[in-house]
Structure 1
Amino acid sequence: MTGPYLYDEGPEALHTGTPRRRNGLILAVFGATLAVGVGMVVALPLVKGSGDEQAREAVGVFTAALAAGDTETAGDLLCEAERDRADAEGRTAEELAVAYAPAGGAGSGGEVTGVEPGELDGKDARQVGVRWDDGSESTLLVVLEDGPRVCGTTSGD
């Protein structure tokens, strides 16, 4: 460039120093992201509870719903396979849920007596023992399927 300059020395380059690398900032951002991700994975079981706790809670809600005659809630807690079985038998999920109670009736409540590890079709499951109001006992199978779901029962005395 030629011409009159504001200063006698002429135009100066805007960046005259040697460039500095700022890898530390990038590494800090990635490190913080990794730390948050690991923290969330570790904290998730603390928030949601273990598989045993989730199974115990789901069966508690299921039996309380049956005791209150709330068959809609009990039916919503059934797994997809049980819903399909109800459809195949020409019943609703609510009607199938009522069949889980002793003597097949709503209004029967129960108490969770224990949780054992189990398996259903190669998937991790929990076997939850229930003592019903009439004194009978059964085991409900709970699988994690979009949340804990009741997916079968065995009766015993």
Structure 2
Amino acid sequence: MSSTQGPYLYDDGPAPLHTGTPRRANGLLLWIFGGTAAFAVLMVVLTLVLKGTGEEQAQEVTGVFLAALAQDDTETAHQLLCQDERIRLSPEEVAGAYLGEGAGDVGTTREVDGERRVTVEWSDGATSELAVIGEDGPRICGVTQAR
């Protein structure tokens, strides 16, 4: 690369590229970091709005599970089970292990040891609790027998 040498349009040589005092760009950094933080908060809020809380998801998956069993759709019900339960039960065994007498209505949800317990009230008055865990989405993973 060759250095620039004469003749110049003006006698004083080329002008320096940066003539002023350098400015600090703190405003730009604040906007970038603030925007990132605001975006993260927005994503969390949108996730809760679109997918619902853990309690709502547990009740939803329980309702779908019971509806599938009520329509004898054991394949769908089997897919809603956690991995351990899918290994333990075949699709044909799911109804016998999880259904009570008559139709089941989804009741309240409570959290126990990191899993959600959804109360199911059967038409004969008995209740069961289905355990719902987070395993690639909410999954049914156990039942306490009707009381």
TM-score by length of 1: 0.77
Indicate the RMSD between aligned Cα atoms, in angstroms: 2.3
Given that 1:75 and 1:96 are in contact with CA atoms closer than 8 Å, whether structure 2 keeps it comes out as no
Instruction: Encode CA deviations 1:40-88: one digit per residue, 9 max, x unaligned.
Output: 22443232222221111111000110111111110011011212323xx
Q: Which residue of 2 aligns with 1:89?
A: none
Q: One-letter code of the match for 2:50?
A: V
Gaps of 5+ in 1: 87-91
Taking the aligned partners of 1:52 and 1:95, their CA distance within structure 2 comes to 28
2:101 counterpart of 1:98: no
Q: One-letter code of the match for 1:28?
A: W
Shifted more, 75-84 versus 137-146: the winner is 137-146
Q: Which residue of 2 aligns with 1:130?
A: 120
- Structure 1 residues 83 and 2: alpha-carbon distance in aligned structure 2, compared to 1, 3 A threshold: closer
Taking the aligned partners of 1:62 and 1:82, their CA distance within structure 2 comes to 14
Taking the aligned partners of 2:14 and 2:95, their CA distance within structure 1 comes to 88
Task: Count the aligned residue pairs.
Answer: 143
Deviation at 1:18, TM superposition (A): 1.6
Taking the aligned partners of 2:5 and 2:100, their CA distance within structure 1 comes to 100
Shifted more, 22-31 versus 38-47: the winner is 38-47
Give the alignment partner of residue 84 of structure 2, picking from 76, 81, 95.
Answer: 81
Q: Which residue of 2 aligns with 1:65?
A: 68
Shifted more, 13-22 versus 40-49: the winner is 40-49
The percentage of counterpart residues that share the same residue type is 52
2:16 counterpart of 1:18: no
Given that 1:78 and 1:97 are in contact with CA atoms closer than 8 Å, whether structure 2 keeps it comes out as no
Gaps of 5+ in 2: none
